[in-house]
């Protein structure tokens, strides 16, 4: 790539870091009893506010770029109290390092905040141009429980991932694995990022400027003995054929699941830095299509450290189809050297089903 994307990367990392500071503020308010955790209010406030800050920072720097985000402004327009609480959080959240904070634009009014939210919530995506895809809080139920959640921000150009940033404010890798309940109680977790063709890095999340980063080693081979294969999943899901995935693990003699976390992006993190080797997505329904914000950026990072990802047809994941991955069905996410064997077992598990019938 002739364009280095260094400026985009720094802004994206700082924007994710500021969003992490925001989510920390919300959780502290919950723990102090200032916000009730018995309803959806804290998650809703944090979700809207984080999206406004993420898009606000990027839109100011790159006004011609498009966005796809999960939230739009409708709920805030209908609820004066909620709108005001989100605005108070957005307008008061800053990085402690003045130089870094000055790089990040903030909405200047409630009306601008609502417009910025709609840039993401009403964004349609497409095959051409630069589009930022984001999930301000991936793993909302885990977030409010103090477990693993992620803040994701990705740049897609002409339907291909170019840049990915994952902020993981509770991530603690002391065991070498990702666990819901083993969280970072001293710091603010870790941030992982990558630019296509440049590998991936990991650094602590801070409250000021960016912390020192370390390169993540490439690991494409996986274990020599397939019984040691480490599966990553969420077995309570009703939309995936957990029975078929478990059967594949049984055929390999591997335990299943190895790592189990709820957040989609945190499952990718378990593959990137948590010792995971494979995640399979075999949908229950033929018309099942995932949302782009559950995968964009994280897939790039995994591929940069030795992963390979296709759908169950063997096609690359198409981020240019709109808000959903509507040109793909199912998913094989695995270390590259293991792909042929996992592909073979996945096809056997489909048992003659026509995976392309939805077209």
| pTM: predicted TM-score of the whole model, two decimal places | 0.95
Task: Kindly report, residue by residue over 56-99, the tens digit of the pLDDT.
Answer: 999 999 999 999 999 999 999 999 999 999 999 999 999 999 99
φ, ψ of residue 277 to 5 degrees: the values are: -120, -30
Residues 341 and 288 in one domain: yes
Q: Count CA atoms closer than 13 A to 77's CA, side-chain side.
A: 11
Q: Please tell me the least confidently modeled range out of 21-25, 30-34, 136-140, 262-266.
A: 30-34
Residues 194 and 245 in one domain: no
Q: Considering the domain boundaries, does residue 356 fall inside one?
A: no
CB within 8 A of 337, min separation 6: which ones?
220, 221, 222, 306
Q: Answer yes or no: are the C-beta atoms of 54 and 93 closer than 8 Å.
A: no
pLDDT at 270 over 60: yes
Q: Considering the domain boundaries, does residue 220 fall inside one?
A: no
Instruction: Give CA–CA dist 329/115, Å, rounded.
Output: 33
Task: Kindly report, residue by residue over 167-202, the tens digit of the pLDDT.
Answer: 999 999 999 999 999 999 999 999 999 999 999 999
Domain hosting residue 323, numbered range: 226-350
Label the pairing between strands 150-157 and 160-168.
antiparallel
Residues 168 and 33 in one domain: yes
Instruction: Give CA–CA dist 274/278, Å, rounded.
Output: 11
Q: Which of 47, 72, 277, 311 is catalytic?
A: 47
- The gap from C-alpha 94 to its chain's centroid, in whole angstroms, comes to 22
Predicted pLDDT at 287: 78
φ, ψ of residue 199 to 5 degrees: the values are: 80, -175
Residues 257 and 143 in one domain: no
Instruction: Tell me if 24 is assigned to a ligand binding site.
Output: no
Confidence of residue 359 (pLDDT cuts 50, 70, 90): very low
Q: Which of residues 30 and 53 earns the better pLDDT score?
A: 53
Task: Kindly report, residue by residue over 197-228, the tens digit of the pLDDT.
Answer: 999 999 999 999 999 999 999 999 999 999 99
Number of domains in the chain: 2
Instruction: Give CA–CA dist 10/319, Å, rounded.
Output: 23
pLDDT at 238 over 90: no
Is position 47 annotated as part of the catalytic site? yes
Predicted pLDDT at 36: 57
Q: Answer yes or no: are the C-beta atoms of 321 and 126 closer than 8 Å.
A: no
Residues 10 and 130 in one domain: yes
Residues 230 and 305 in one domain: yes
Q: Considering the domain boundaries, does residue 358 fall inside one?
A: no
Confidence of residue 288 (pLDDT cuts 50, 70, 90): confident
Residues 174 and 236 in one domain: no
Residues 208 and 240 in one domain: no
Omega within 30 of 0 (cis) for the link into 257? yes
Q: Considering the domain boundaries, does residue 1 fall inside one?
A: no
CATH code of the domain covering residue 341: 3.40.190.80
Instruction: Tell me if 138 is assigned to a ligand binding site.
Output: yes
Q: Considering the domain boundaries, does residue 355 fall inside one?
A: no
> Which of 215, 244, 276 finishes a domain?
215
| Rg over CA atoms, the chain | 20
Task: Kindly report, residue by residue over 122-167, the tens digit of the pLDDT.
Answer: 999 999 999 999 999 999 999 999 999 999 999 999 999 999 999 9
Is position 354 annotated as part of the catalytic site? no
Task: Kindly report, residue by residue over 33-57, the tens digit of the pLDDT.
Answer: 666 555 568 889 999 999 999 999 9
Q: Please tell me the least confidently modeled range out of 70-79, 245-254, 344-353.
A: 344-353
CATH code of the domain covering residue 90: 3.30.540.10
**For the chain, how long is the longest CA-to-CA vector?**
59
Tell me what the mean pLDDT of segment 267-296 comes to.
94
Instruction: Tell me if 118 is assigned to a ligand binding site.
Output: no
Residues 308 and 163 in one domain: no
Instruction: Tell me if 39 is assigned to a ligand binding site.
Output: no
Residues 57 and 124 in one domain: yes
Predicted pLDDT at 153: 99
> Which of 172, 190, 215 finishes a domain?
215
Residues 128 and 239 in one domain: no
> Which of 183, 215, 247 finishes a domain?
215
Predicted pLDDT at 30: 78
Predicted pLDDT at 35: 60
Q: Answer yes or no: are the C-beta atoms of 46 and 100 closer than 8 Å.
A: no
Q: Considering the domain boundaries, does residue 177 fall inside one?
A: yes
pLDDT at 4 over 60: yes
Q: Which of 140, 233, 277, 311 is catalytic?
A: 140
Tell me what the mean pLDDT of segment 285-290 comes to.
83
Task: Kindly report, residue by residue over 304-343, the tens digit of the pLDDT.
Answer: 999 999 999 999 999 999 999 999 999 999 999 999 999 9
Residues 209 and 323 in one domain: no
Instruction: Tell me if 135 is assigned to a ligand binding site.
Output: yes
- Please, what is the end-to-end C-alpha distance for the chain in angstroms? 33
Tokens encoding 139: 């793993």
pLDDT at 2 over 70: no
Predicted pLDDT at 39: 57
Secondary structure string (H, E, C) spanning the chain:
CCCCCHHHHHHHHHHHHHHHHHHHHHHHHHHCCCCCCCCCHHHHHHHHHHHHHHHHHHHHHCCCCEEEECCCCHHHHCCHHHHHHHHHHHHHCCCCCHHHHHCCCCCCCHHHHHHHHHHHHCCCCCCCCEEEEEEEEECHHHHHCCCCCEEEEEEEECCEEEEEEEEECCECCCCCCCCCCCECCCCCCEEEEEECCCCEEEEECCCCCCCCCEECCCCCCCCCCHHHCCEEECCCCCCECHHHHHHHHHHHCCCCCCEECCCHHHHHHHHHCCCCCEEEECECCCCCCCEHHHCCCHHHHHHHCCEEEECCCCCCCCCCCCCECCCCCCEEEEEHHHHHHHHHHHHHHHCCCCCCCCC
């Amino acid at each position: 790539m002739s364009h280095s994307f260094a400026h985009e990367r720094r802004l994206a990392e700082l924007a994710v870091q500021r969003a992490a500071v925001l989510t920390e503020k919300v959780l502290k308010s919950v723990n102090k009893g200032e916000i009730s955790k018995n309803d959806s209010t804290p998650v809703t406030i944090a979700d809207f506010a984080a999206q406004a800050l993420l898009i606000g920072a990027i839109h100011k720097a790159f006004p011609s770029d498009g966005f796809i985000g999960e939230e739009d402004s409708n709920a805030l327009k209908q609820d004066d109290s909620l709108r005001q609480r989100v605005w108070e959080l957005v307008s008061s959240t800053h990085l402690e390092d003045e130089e870094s904070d000055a790089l990040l634009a903030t909405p200047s009014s409630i009306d601008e905040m609502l417009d910025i939210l709609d840039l993401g919530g009403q964004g349609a995506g497409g095959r051409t141009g630069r589009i930022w895809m984001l999930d301000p809080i991936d793993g909302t139920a885990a977030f409010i429980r103090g477990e693993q959640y992620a803040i994701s921000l990705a740049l897609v150009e002409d339907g291909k991932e170019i840049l990915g940033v994952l902020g993981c404010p509770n991530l603690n890798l002391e065991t070498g694995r990702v666990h819901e309940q083993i969280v970072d109680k001293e710091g603010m977790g870790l941030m992982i990022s990558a630019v296509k063709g440049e590998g991936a890095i990991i650094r602590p999340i801070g409250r000021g400027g960016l912390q020192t980063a370390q390169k993540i080693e490439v690991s494409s081979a996986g274990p020599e003995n397939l019984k040691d294969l480490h599966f990553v999943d969420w077995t309570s899901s009703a939309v995936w054929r957990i029975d078929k995935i478990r059967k594949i693990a049984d055929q390999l003699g591997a335990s299943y699941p190895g790592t189990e976390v709820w957040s989609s992006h945190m499952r990718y993190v378990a593959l990137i830095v948590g010792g995971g080797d494979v995640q399979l997505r075999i949908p229950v329904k033929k018309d099942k299509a995932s949302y782009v914000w559950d995968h964009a950026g994280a897939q790039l990072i995994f591929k940069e450290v030795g992963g390979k990802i296709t759908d169950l047809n063997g096609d690359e994941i198409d981020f240019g189809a709109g808000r959903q991955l509507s040109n793909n069905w199912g998913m094989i996410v695995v270390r590259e050297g293991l792909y042929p064997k996992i592909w073979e077992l996945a096809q056997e598990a489909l048992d003659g089903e026509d995976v392309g019938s939805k077209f």
